[in-house]
Structure 1
């Protein structure tokens, strides 16, 4: 079974997907990316619960058990061989299966789930005809609100970096960046 088949099976078994969301995922997955071109999700992020970067790089044995354990299919092998979090078509729900699968201690349980990613909203977000509010409606931690200028605003304290706002955005107006928390 190819990764894309596994991904969609896991995604559909864990989430309700609207027809629009499924169509958007299929269409965007079919886009060809030229070699050397940055991917649609240029952020390289470590899995949830990862030790600080230097310690993680030294501790991780690249066994990929965490990748295999991820039911959402959002952990993948980076070109360096280390696992990376790639939130593009599915969000991280903090299930901790990747942490439980790590037997070398490179991933540790967190007191508060946080991927370390934060959304940044760009001007594509403002639709003068119809405001969608997808990021606000889909945010389980209620970290996104609509400001006076109709742009989404983020409460960093509430945000867990799950990426649901990115997954639900129909206008490619959300980019995830590593936070410095």
Structure 2
């Protein structure tokens, strides 16, 4: 997860709290926490059952429980406007140092479950393979996370590149 601190976390003194993975279509962190009522409609609407409440009652996505199919049931169920259809999903997968393949053990569970083929393995000298995640192909769906036997898949928030134009 990203290390951006939300305003709520900052005011509570939790400066190093990782950014929460909010449901698809979530507004930016500060706006989301101002608009979301914590009603739980998005969690009840999720057919995959991957939306839960965090310690403050806001919805978070837990991709270790299953993958997101981007069906937008959560955004359709949100009446407050905290989840908006069409907002980009900013999360992408990557392997942590605890990845079995990075430690010389043959495993390709993440690659086998990645429908977008965003995960490849590069053979290294000595016979081990290193996982390579293509951020352009990765949808951040989480299909690779649940089957990982050592919980070595993490998700990072990609920054949206802003267009700049001359005035």
Query: Using a 3 Å threshold, how does the CA distance of structure 1 residues 164 and 177 change in structure 2: closer, same or farther?
Result: same
Residue 50 (structure 2) aligns with: 74
1:110, distance to aligned residue in structure 2 (A): 2.2
Structure 1 residues 80-139: Cα deviation after superposition (integer angstroms, max 9, x where no partner) = 111111122211111111011011211111276x3524223324322646x232111211
- State the TM-score, normalizing by the size of structure 1: 0.67
State the SS of the aligned residue for 2:75: helix
C-alpha contact 1:75 1:83 (8 A) present in aligned 2: yes
State the SS of the aligned residue for 1:147: strand
C-alpha contact 1:139 1:165 (8 A) present in aligned 2: yes
Of 69, 74, 82, the match for 1:98: 74
**Distance in 2 of aligned mates of 1:61 and 1:117:** 27
Where is the helix percentage greater, Structure 1 or Structure 2?
A: 1
Residue 107 (structure 2) aligns with: 132
Contiguous gaps of at least 5 residues in structure 1: 1-41
Structure 1 residues 11-46: Cα deviation after superposition (integer angstroms, max 9, x where no partner) = xxxxxxxxxxxxxxxxxxxxxxxxxxxxxxx87311
State the SS of the aligned residue for 2:71: coil
- State the TM-score, normalizing by the size of structure 2: 0.72
C-alpha contact 2:27 2:87 (8 A) present in aligned 1: no
Which entry has the higher C-alpha Rg, 1 or 2?
2
C-alpha contact 2:24 2:83 (8 A) present in aligned 1: yes
Q: CA RMSD in A?
A: 2.1
**Distance in 1 of aligned mates of 2:153 and 2:87:** 27
Q: Does 1:44 align with 2:26?
A: no
Residue 59 (structure 1) aligns with: 35
Count residues in correspondence. 138
**Distance in 2 of aligned mates of 1:124 and 1:155:** 17
Contiguous gaps of at least 5 residues in structure 2: 1-17, 161-167
**Distance in 2 of aligned mates of 1:77 and 1:57:** 13
